[in-house]
């Protein structure tokens, strides 16, 4: 069961990263100005990126407590760094990306917050994937 959880957590994390990069590409392609592209970004961001990321966090926490128990789970700092970093992605998503997508789809003009938000999400997620990979390989 632990092996299945490890694979699900790892590959959902990779899928989340891929969706973040794909969302950044769509945002750079003009989603702040075009309602159709904003709709595509909305689907990628809300349904693929956020849902896969949240599921990966839940699976990671389940794996953490199943593998180390309640006592040893707090000693593994790499897992907690990933959780706190995902906690930073949530407000960026709500206040920068989703708000700008809603503004563009409502007929308004988007601002640079959309691109800045997607770039921040990719940067944070890159750090999380890097920390998790290094922790898994025993480099941390």
pLDDT confidence band for 73 (50 / 70 / 90): low
Is residue 16 over pLDDT 70? yes
Mean pLDDT of the chain: 87
| Measured torsion, CA atoms of residues 45, 47, 53, 56, in degrees rounded to the nearest 10 | -160
The predicted-structure confidence for 110-136, as pLDDT tens digits, reads as follows: 788 999 999 999 999 999 888 888 877
The structure tokens listed for 129 are 């994937």
Q: Of 61, 54, 69, which Cα lies nearest the Cα of 13?
A: 54
With both helix axes pointing from N to C terminus, report the angle between 2-26 and 113-137 in degrees, rounded to the nearest 10.
150
* pTM of the predicted model as reported, rounded to 2 decimal places: 0.87
The predicted-structure confidence for 79-103, as pLDDT tens digits, reads as follows: 788 888 999 999 999 999 999 999 9
The predicted-structure confidence for 30-65, as pLDDT tens digits, reads as follows: 888 888 988 999 999 998 999 999 999 999 888 888
Residue bearing tokens 């990263």: 17
In this predicted structure, what is the pLDDT of residue 74?
A: 66
């Amino acid at each position: 069961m632990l092996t299945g959880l490890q694979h699900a957590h790892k590959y959902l994390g990779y899928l989340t990263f891929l969706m973040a990069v794909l969302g950044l590409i769509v945002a750079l392609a003009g989603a702040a100005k075009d309602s159709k592209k904003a709709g595509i970004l909305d689907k990628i961001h809300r349904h693929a990126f956020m849902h896969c990321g949240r599921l990966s966090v839940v699976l990671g926490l389940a794996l953490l407590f199943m593998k180390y128990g309640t006592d040893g789970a707090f000693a593994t700092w790499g897992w907690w760094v990933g959780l706190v970093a995902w906690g930073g992605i949530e407000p960026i998503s709500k206040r920068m990306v989703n708000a700008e997508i809603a503004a563009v789809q409502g007929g308004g003009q988007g601002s640079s917050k959309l691109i800045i938000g997607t770039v921040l999400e990719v940067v944070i997620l890159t750090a999380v994937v890097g920390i998790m990979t290094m922790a898994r390989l025993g480099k941390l």
